[in-house]
Amino acid sequence: MNEVQRHNEILSLLETHRVINVSHITEQFSVSPATARRDISKLDGQGKLRKVRNGAERIENKKRKWTPLNINSTEHYEEKSEIAIKAAELCLPGESAVINCGSTAFMLGQQLCGKNVQIVTNYFPLASYLIDQDHDDVILIGGQYNKAQNIFLNPALNTLMGYAGNWMFTSGKGLTEAGLYKADMLTAVAEQQMLDQIDKLVVVVDSSKVGHRTGMLFCPANKIDVLITGRNANAEVIKAIAEQGTRVILV
């Protein structure tokens, strides 16, 4: 585990435990006390935690909610942008892509906009953007509008029937060798209905999500055809997923 990965893990620990001490870090990551203190100091300097006596505490601040208007302020923007570029390269002219919600999904839609690719989505901000940009082939999956997630949800089964896609692109809150996890059960169940209608499932997650198990298991790793993530992702998890037959692309 390199320094970037360790820093991500330390911040994840603080999401669960408001305060951690140096010994907690040394035991968890098998590093020296000096390294643990250096990690805390660096993260404190970056404003990602608050250094306290013999440890660190979580900074309680409300994250700014990203929108299409401030997309470049989303966390891990540069990495997500590179992931979106690689994901778009998978789609050939004349193919169709199911794109679900999230900042990476929106950036993928931006990359595909104007190309000869049919885009199927239940993500309202993406659909609005594509329509506004005069993308030729957009299919918006219907249902009840969920304001919190900016998506349409339909409790009926087979809502994608008749709209089979070559590709489905999705993200999540966590990814381990067991599979992809999603925090919101309603959106996860809605997306699961689509899995039988597509040829290839592509998971697009930034490296900070790799190695974390959060929420419900959306699909097992052996059902993921392609994984696109950052080079700083947990190498052990990436190797375990690749050994299950998933094509891994690191950006």
Q: How does pLDDT run across 102-155, given as a tens digit for each residue?
A: 889 999 999 999 999 999 998 889 999 999 999 999 988 866 777 777 777 665
pLDDT at 155: 57
pLDDT at 186: 76
Q: What percent of the chain has pLDDT over 90?
A: 63
Q: With bands split at pLDDT 50, 70 and 90, how would you rate the model's confidence at 156? A: low
Give alpha helix (H) positions in the chain. 3-16, 22-29, 33-45, 77-89, 103-112, 124-132, 185-192, 235-242
Domain with CATH 1.10.10.10 in the chain: 3-58
pTM: 0.74
Largest Cα–Cα distance in the chain? 60
Task: Look up residue 74 and give its DSSP letter.
Answer: S
Tokens standing for residue 155: 């409790």
More confident residue, 46 or 163: 46
Cβ-in-10-Å burial (0-12, 13-18, 19+) of 178 comes to middle
Q: What percent of the chain has pLDDT over 70?
A: 88
Domain with CATH 3.40.50.1360 in the chain: 71-250
pLDDT at 65: 53
Is CATH 3.30.700.30 the classification given to domain 3-58?
Answer: no
Tokens standing for residue 8: 């991500």
Residue 81 CB coordination number (10 Å):
19
SS3 state of residue 146: strand
Is CATH 3.40.50.1360 the classification given to domain 71-250?
Answer: yes
Tokens standing for residue 71: 């997309």
